[in-house]
Amino acid sequence: MVTLTFWPLESSTSSTTSSVGICCVSCREKGLAAGIGSPAPSATHSGSGGPSRIIPARQLLPTCWALRRKLLKVSLPPSVGSCRTGMEAEQGEELVGKARGPTSTFTCSAAPQCLHPDRAPCAHGWLWFPCGWGSQGVHLCWSREREGAGDRGAALAALCIAGRRSGNDASYYQSAARNTETECCKLSTAGGRGQRWARVAAGRQPGQCHRGTKQGKRPRAAAPRLPACMYFSSCSLRCSTSAGGPELSREEKLQLRKEKKQQKKKKRNEKGTAAEPPEPGTAADPAQPRVTPHPASPPASANAPNDGEKPPGGKSKAELRAERRAKQEAERAQKQAKKAELGQGAAPAKPRLTPTEAPSVVKRLPEHVQVDDPAAQRKLAKKLERQQVPLRQDYGTKVNLFSHLHQYSRKKPLTQQMSIPSTVIHPAVVRLGLQYSQGIINGSNARCIALLEVFKQLIRDYSTPPNEELSRDLVAKLKPHISFLNQCRPLSVSMGNAIKFLKKEISCLPDTLREEEAKEKLQGTIDNYLREKIVLAAEAISKSAFEKINDNDVILVYGCSSLVNRTLCDAHTQTDRTFRVIVVDSRPRLEGRETLRRLVRHGIHCTYVMINAISYVLPEVSKVLLGAHALLANGSVMSRVGTSQIALVSKAYNVPVLVCCETYKFCERVQTDSFVSNELDDPDDLIVQRKGQAQLGGWAENKSLRLLNLVYDVTPPDLVDLVITDLGMIPCTSVPVVLRVKNVDQQ
């Protein structure tokens, strides 16, 4: 079921043809408005003639957010059927007030196009965002039955692409767009002087989102290369503005298409006789993107008759017949070849992609963001069964947007389903898992350190069974333990990196080592990792942070970050600068109290406020110092929920935001929002106990009430001024560089 929210359109953009409209605060703020038009293609796209205006992505983003947020709630009335919803957002006042339906001709003409080839039209709703600044439009269609957060993500991303003109910038938004197999997003950048079509054939692309099948995994999207799946053909498709096409009825269009195909064939045949047949799948024919049976190519049809009429003059009938037969033979052969190619390639029914465009690396999505996908869950259950680890059941109903994440109850630990003298899982790991899930070991660094210490113990107690190799068997032995811990609480990025490192170290062990030596060596490497990546890194960070802490500074910190605490304590004891700290805290964990305790213990002058008082304290703050859970490849900072809010308000007050983060927490993942990959904590934590009464106590029984206890959020890179790492101070957009250097180092 497609869900869309409708709410009354207040602005003057309200369309003449529709009674409902979409509008959101941020749209209005930006001078953007969106409206839903009637499904019928009525008017021509009159506005597209003007010069294209570029909207910076940042300006666009809130729109998308709002859109996206709103897109999720209310269901479409079933009667809408294969609903076509055009939305228009206009920038600037000049366009406000213009009556607009879906209006633009190419909206409609694009419609059959957008439909996923595998599915009947009625199974789709499609949505068009001609993000009204005259020229850019995004076509998007998604399948109804598989509607999910990923699809919405794609919608968002596609919208973003439209907003971004530069390919490089767009690349990571594209990555989000490429995420599903079901939707095909169509991006059109139709400039005033010519239309640029870019297709995001989402079909078999690796994508950032979780909705995808096996292939869908986050690509390293921040890599400045343009992903292969996307291409902007520079051809000018005179589509909507040209006469004909759009006004035609469906049958006519089909007719046209047929004709066009035949003409193409003929053309090809002729070419085939003259020279070799053009290779399918290359961009040999840029003016005619071969896979775009877009009805908006009337120019082609207009040209076609001429092509078709070209007679290979000067030949007898017999000759002609023979020639034709030969042509047919060739054609058949060609078709078969094409089919074979299709079968191998990742493209769906329509060869949207050439093999060269296909992604080289196919990555899997992690299961912990596919909870709403029963197939992925079955797979997980099977894997756990194989590893003899029980499956932890999700708890309670989840907030709509987060149905793809796990939500566990602290009161129902995994040990419930295990025998008490645990046989499969090492006792130390059981204990660690419980401590993770109960929140006793908490914080990215602490979790990673505890994990490595336990793994050291595991390696110590390990003995290679006969006929096995240590390097292989040990990795296999670690796997159930990691699955167990992952179910107790989803692994942190730091833990993920540490595990990756350890696995690599184990597999790289030379075979010549005796078991004892190998174990000792491994423990040594773990110790080194702990010392270099965490202890020494913290030291380096606190040293370089000294430079940033001046006399009489007022530093704002949030939550409890071991690194920030250490930095502040070091700065207090090792320098003679006087500074003051404002500790900001938030419910439900109230971790700031621990920060406060530690800082006050060191004699630092502290103030403690809750996060809702932040705008009150910010005017006196000179610096904001934040910890991080992870730094993502696009420069986003993933941290305790609330961090992005603080960064945003700080930006508004022009207070510099510094983030402290060790480089071992850098992650190749890309995230632009906090939805796709996050963690849900126990919703029961939000229950307030006051005077013996538990407010919200019976939330589970109330069907219209859901609790969201989000753990992390993502701070966009432009809100962060500087990242203090063990490599020095870098802008947060340099994460990919650091990661690349690291990769080179490791090899």
User: Residue 188's beta-bridge partner residues?
Assistant: 137, 197
Q: Please name every residue paired with 689 in a beta bridge, in sequence order, or none if there are none.
A: 694
List the x/- string, 363-402, binding to another protein by CB under 8 A: ----------------------------------------
Query: In the window 190-219, what residues touch another protein (CB under 8 A)?
Result: none
Helix 444-460 with 470-488: angle, nearest 10 deg = 140
> For residue 151, what are the CA distances in angstroms to 72, 80, 180, 373?
11, 20, 7, 13
What single letter denotes the amino acid at residue 334? Answer: Q
CB of 361 or CB of 420, closer to another protein: 420
Q: Which tokens go with 500?
A: 């990756």
The length of the chain in residues reads 747
Least distance between another protein and beta carbon 549 (Å): 19
Smallest gap from Cβ 597 to another protein, in A, equals 6
Closest CA to 551 of 479, 623, 631: 623
Q: Please, which of residues 439-478 interact with another protein by CB under 8 A?
A: 439-443, 445-447, 449-450, 453
Using the minimum distance from each CB to another protein, give the nearer residue, 143 or 567: 567
Question: How many other C-beta atoms can be found within 10 angstroms of the C-beta atom of residue 289?
Answer: 18
**Tokens, residue 701:** 């029984």
The answer to whether the peptide bond before residue 588 is cis (omega within 30 degrees of 0) is yes
C-beta of 435: minimal distance to another protein in Å? 6
Q: Which is nearer to another protein, 76 or 530 (CB)?
A: 530
Pairing between β-strand 184-190 and β-strand 136-143 as defined by DSSP bridges: antiparallel
Nearer to another protein by C-beta: 300 or 545?
A: 545
Minimum CB separation of residue 441 from another protein in Å reads: 5
Taking CB under 8 A as the criterion, which residues in 403-442 touch another protein? 413, 415-416, 418-423, 427, 430-431, 434-435, 438-442
| Residue from the set 295, 490, 559, 683 that interacts with another protein by CB under 8 A | 559
Q: Does 560 bind another protein (CB under 8 A)?
A: yes
Nearer to another protein, 242 or 387 (CB): 387
Which C-beta is closer to another protein: that of 517 or that of 527? Answer: 527
CB of 561 to another protein, least distance (A): 8
Integer Cα distance of 445 and 639 in angstroms: 13
Binding mask 573-602 for another protein (x = CB under 8 A): ------------------x-xxx-xx-xx-
Residue number with CB closer to another protein (187 or 560): 560
Q: Which is nearer to another protein, 201 or 450 (CB)?
A: 450
Closest approach of Cβ 438 to another protein, in Å?
Answer: 5
3-class secondary structure, 124? strand
Contact in structure between 569 and 598 (CB atoms under 8 Å): yes
Closer residue to another protein (CB): 536 or 737: 536
Residue listed under structure tokens 């196919």: 362
Rounded Cα distance, 128 and 112, in Å: 12
Q: What share of the chain is helix, strand, coil (3-state, %, to 5)?
A: 45, 15, 45
Minimum distance, C-beta of residue 607 to another protein, in the bound complex (Å)? 17
Q: Which is nearer to another protein, 426 or 519 (CB)?
A: 426
Q: Provide the CA 112 distance to its chain's centre, in angstroms.
A: 27
Minimum CB separation from another protein for residue 695, in Å?
18
In whole angstroms, how close is the CB of 509 to another protein at the nearest point? 24
- 232 close to 164: Cβ distance less than 8 angstroms: no
Which residue in 509, 501, 449 sits closest to 473, CA to CA? Answer: 509
Of 202, 680, 674, nearest to 437 by C-alpha is: 680
How many residues bind to another protein according to rule CB under 8 A? 40
Tell me how far, at minimum, the Cβ of 105 lies from another protein, in Å. Answer: 59
The residues pairing with 347 across neighbouring beta strands, listed in sequence order, are none
Site residues, another protein (CB under 8 A)? 413, 415-416, 418-423, 427, 430-431, 434-435, 438-443, 445-447, 449-450, 453, 559-562, 565-566, 591, 593-595, 597-598, 600-601
